[in-house]
């Protein structure tokens, strides 16, 4: 199975800091094994969605919806 390096950009992530939520963005790379590029993108996004350190930092009640975009693969 081929390996892919998928670069993702996140926007509007409400991160709690000192009791207040601030909107942050990020760029990250995830390396995945997948049968094709589309599957690689989906796997990389799923890894971000399940990242315990990110989830624990989020203000889940914030009205802004975080977004993840493919930067490149």
Residues in the chain, pLDDT under 70: 73
CB-neighbour burial class of residue 18 (10 A; exposed 0-12, middle 13-18, buried 19+): exposed
Q: Rounded CA gap, 55 and 62, in Å?
A: 13
Q: What is the pLDDT of residue 73?
A: 65
Confidence at residue 51, expressed as pLDDT on a 0 to 100 scale: 93
pTM value is: 0.81
> How does pLDDT run across 39-59, given as a tens digit for each residue?
999 999 999 999 999 889 999
């Amino acid at each position: 199975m081929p390996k892919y390096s998928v670069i993702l950009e996140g926007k509007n992530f409400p991160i709690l800091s000192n009791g207040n939520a601030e909107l942050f963005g990020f760029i990250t790379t995830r390396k995945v094994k997948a049968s094709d590029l589309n599957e690689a993108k989906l796997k990389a996004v799923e890894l971000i969605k399940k990242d315990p350190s990110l989830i624990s930092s989020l203000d889940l009640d914030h009205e802004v919806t975080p977004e993840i975009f493919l930067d490149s693969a």
